[in-house]
Amino acid sequence: MCIYTTGKGELHGFKYYLRIIVSHMKYQMIQASRKDFLGHVAITRFS
């Protein structure tokens, strides 16, 4: 995918692509923080 084109369709596609990446990163962060939280709860409960 070329970023440096000035066409409307290309720009729209790039924004869509960025949105997918951002939402995926947010999802990964939520999953990681949830795992950390569960691990913390387990450690504090069983120690």
Q: How confident is the model at residue 45 (pLDDT cuts 50, 70, 90)?
A: confident
Mention every residue, 6+ apart, whose C-beta is less than 8 A from residue 11. 5
pLDDT at position 2, please?
53
- pLDDT of 40 above 60: yes
- pLDDT of 37 above 80: yes
- pLDDT of 23 above 90: yes
Using CB atoms within 10 A of its CB, is residue 10 exposed (0-12), middle (13-18) or buried (19+)?
Answer: middle
- pLDDT of 3 above 60: no
